């Protein structure tokens, strides 16, 4: 009963996030625009876009668009539902792993109130659905259903390809939970084989889909864009460590609670090594060891330090924290009052960051207000400048989405101010230049003026700073 209540509360919190008046983060805008190609233009293979992600989440969003319209609410709703379902799967996974309803309940509570998951639930990032399928794969593996676990892992790949990094953890948890003293190597080999066959078959279908898009391979483009090709340099060691530590702090959201959970987890792991030898302790250490290896990989290889990269790790870390808290509670006598106090401290500690996240003021997750007003800018361009050419350097994917599936203006990306100046010199009619603020535009305008451009403002958002400039060769320059 209590887990169901927690899940309902979690759903209510995440549905509440859908009511925030925030625009898309740049990557969200790209993903939503790609889904719109499927739902409104019938581009089911996404040939008309530079795709560097697998397609499953785009099809899910496209289905939501077909049902509700190509609006922000419809784009974000699927992740709200997947986030809620993830909580139910986590509860079942925890019960299967540890045979303990209380551990499962505390894990559910931590994940339901985690500002980290809350911040990403009402977004279009692919990580939320990848996390769901990783949890499903783990749940099926610990239930000794290896073909299903492999198929779920294939859906991880179809959602976010680097989610396959969690396959070793899925395998380890499944084998450890089901291993018996009478097992032989063939018993493990048989299970891994069924898992591998289903996984390879699922990956093969995604690869066939990608081949049908030839010559525009998302696998090739994704590798090119996301492979850093190097380890970090010495001057990156501390900044990157600080960045990942900062994002980890959002798992519980509260500084003192994070410290308490870290201390409890470390102490519990040490206790397992020296005082208890059991299957459950092995599972604890598998989760902890994988988590450290995963964090080390993100830290020491020069990937971007994006906040969302830790999303799939978060439920496993909080599950381990729940196991430690309940284990310590039992070691101290298992009094109901003490458990109620632990739950109360969790709720009290997480309430302020949860409230902050619900009001859209947490420094994690989606756009965080950086593009508020871009929809009004897009409306102005479509209504006032139909058929005109608009140069852009900063707003790319966001502007493309909010201009709609049939924009009335021609948007051209300009990488350098010099290249924009060169293009304008050869223009015989006015063009337009859009910027997120006059401060962003100032260096560009300086170069344009020095090359003979006459510049005037045709749109300025006094609140959100967006500005549109009219550019034309000045009569004095052209006559000279």
Parse the chain into domains and list their residue ranges: 2-358, 374-479
What residues contact 445, with CB distance under 8 A and at least 6 apart? 455, 469
Give Cβ neighbours of residue 278 (< 8 Å, ≥ 6 apart): 272
Backbone angles phi, psi at 116, to 5 degrees: -65, -55
Q: What is the DSSP letter of 165?
A: G
Taking the CA atoms of the chain, what radius of gyration do you get in angstroms? 26
Q: List CB contacts of 22: < 8 A, sequence separation 6 or more.
A: 360, 366, 367, 368, 369, 372
- pLDDT at residue number 479: 43
* Nearest alpha carbon to residue 17 among 398, 354, 347, 371: 354
- pLDDT less than 70: residues of the chain: 1, 475-480
DSSP secondary structure of 174-210: HHHHH--TT--HHHHHHHHHHHHHHHHHHHHHHHHHH
DSSP character at residue 301: B
Tokens matching residue 458:
């045709």
SS3 22: coil
Q: Are 18 and 126 in contact (CB under 8 A)?
A: no
Crossing angle of helices 2-17 and 101-113, in 10° steps, is 10
Distance (Å, whole) CA 192 – CA 324: 30
CA 40, 44, 46, 52 dihedral sign is positive
> Strands, E, within 242-357: which ranges?
none
What integer pLDDT is reported at residue 426 of this predicted model?
Answer: 78
pLDDT of residue 475: 61
Strands (E) located in 394-474: 410-413, 431-435, 453-460, 467-473
What rounded mean pLDDT belongs to the chain? 94
Give pLDDT, residue 39: 96
Spatial CB neighbours of 250, under 8 Å, sequence gap ≥ 6: 114, 115, 116, 119, 307, 353, 362, 364
CATH placement of domain 374-479: 3.40.190
């Amino acid at each position: 009963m209590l887990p169901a209540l927690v899940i309902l509360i979690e759903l209510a919190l995440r549905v509440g996030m859908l009511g925030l008046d925030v625009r898309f983060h740049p990557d969200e805008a790209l993903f939503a625009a790609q889904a719109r190609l499927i739902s409104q233009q019938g581009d089911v293979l996404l040939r008309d876009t530079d795709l560097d992600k697998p397609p499953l989440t785009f099809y899910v969003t496209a289905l939501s668009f077909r049902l509700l319209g190509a609006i922000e609410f419809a784009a974000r709703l699927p992740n709200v539902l997947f986030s809620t379902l993830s909580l139910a799967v986590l509860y079942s996974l925890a019960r299967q792993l540890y045979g303990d309803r209380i551990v499962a309940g505390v894990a559910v509570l931590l994940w339901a109130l985690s500002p980290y998951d809350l911040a990403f639930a009402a977004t279009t990032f692919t990580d939320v659905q990848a996390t769901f399928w990783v949890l499903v794969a783990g749940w099926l593996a610990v239930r000794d259903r290896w073909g299903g676990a492999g198929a779920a892992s294939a859906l991880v790949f179809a959602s976010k390809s680097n989610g396959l990094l969690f396959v070793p953890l899925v395998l380890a948890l499944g084998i450890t939970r089901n291993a018996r003293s009478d097992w032989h190597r063939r018993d493990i080999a048989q299970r891994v084989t069924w898992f591998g066959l289903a996984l390879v078959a699922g990956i093969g279908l995604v690869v066939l889909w990608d081949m049908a898009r030839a010559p525009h391979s998302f696998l090739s483009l994704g590798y090119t864009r996301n492979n850093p090709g190097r380890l970090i340099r010495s001057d990156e060691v501390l900044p990157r460590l600080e960045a990942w530590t900062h994002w980890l702090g959002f798992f519980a959201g509260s500084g003192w609670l994070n410290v308490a959970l870290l201390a409890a987890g470390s102490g519990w792991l040490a206790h397992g090594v020296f005082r208890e030898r059991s299957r459950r302790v092995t599972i604890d250490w598998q989760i902890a060891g994988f988590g450290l290896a995963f964090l080390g990989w993100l830290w020491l290889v020069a990937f971007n330090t994006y906040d969302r990269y830790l999303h799939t790790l978060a439920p496993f870390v909080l599950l381990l924290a729940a196991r430690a808290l309940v284990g310590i509670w039992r070691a101290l006598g298992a009094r109901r009052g003490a458990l109620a106090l632990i739950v109360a401290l969790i709720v009290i500690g997480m309430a302020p960051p949860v409230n902050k996240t619900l009001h859209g003021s947490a420094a994690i997750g989606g756009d965080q207000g950086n593009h508020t007003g871009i929809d009004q800018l897009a409306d102005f361009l479509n209504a006032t400048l139909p058929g005109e050419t608009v140069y852009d350097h900063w707003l790319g994917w966001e502007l493309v989405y909010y201009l709609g599936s049939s924009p009335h203006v021609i948007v051209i990306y300009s990488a350098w101010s010099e290249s924009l100046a060169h293009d304008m010199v050869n223009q015989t009619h006015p063009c337009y230049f859009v910027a997120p603020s006059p401060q962003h535009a100032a260096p560009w305008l300086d170069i344009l003026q020095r090359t003979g451009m006459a510049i005037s403002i045709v749109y300025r958002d006094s609140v959100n700073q967006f500005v549109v400039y009219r550019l034309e060769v000045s009569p004095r320059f052209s006559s000279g």
